[in-house]
């Protein structure tokens, strides 16, 4: 199985800050990577697919980049509603696997 490792595990930042989350895969993914946002008690929400494509309705302050084994999710200007846990997911092979999650907290 492909292992997905996210860092950091948690981050605390102020409104307006730039936040970067990284995801590293144990094997090359090309661009077959997605990012999800999950708030407490809710199902995850797809933010970005195929590394850098913004899902419809997702604010443009979210962006993704990377290729192969190293990927990044960036929130350009953190908003209060961005407080959540973020997961990366590889889509090149089964079983589909997710990172362990990064919790973003607003200071």
Partner 1 sequence: EVQLLESGGGLIQPGGSLRLSCAASGFSLSADHMSWVRQAPGKGLEWISIIYSGGGTQYADSVKGRFTISKDNSKSMLFLQMNSLRAEDTAVYYCARGILTYFFDDWGQGTSVTVSS
Q: Which residues bind partner 1 (CB under 8 A)?
A: 32, 34, 36, 38, 41-46, 49-50, 55, 87, 89, 91, 94-101
Kindly tell me which of 91 and 106 has the beta carbon lying closer to partner 1: 91
76, 96, 78: which is closest to 87 by C-alpha? 96
Kindly tell me which of 11 and 17 has the beta carbon lying closer to partner 1: 11
Residue 60: count of CB within 10 angstroms of its CB: 7
HSE-CB of 76 using CA atoms within 13 angstroms? 6
In whole angstroms, the minimum distance from the beta carbon of 103 to partner 1 comes to 11
Q: How many Å separate Cα 82 from the centre of its chain?
A: 12
In whole angstroms, the minimum distance from the beta carbon of 10 to partner 1 comes to 13
């Amino acid at each position: 199985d492909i292992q997905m490792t996210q860092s950091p595990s948690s981050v605390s930042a102020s409104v307006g800050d730039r936040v970067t989350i990284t995801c590293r895969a144990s094997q090359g993914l090309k661009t077959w990577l997605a990012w999800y946002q999950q708030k407490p008690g809710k199902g995850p929400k797809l933010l970005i697919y195929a590394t850098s494509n913004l899902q419809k309705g997702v604010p443009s302050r979210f962006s993704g980049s990377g290729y192969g084994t190293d990927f990044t999710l960036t929130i350009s200007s953190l908003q209060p509603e961005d407080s959540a846990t973020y997961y990366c997911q590889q889509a090149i092979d089964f079983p589909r696997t997710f990172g362990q999650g990064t919790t973003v907290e607003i200071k």
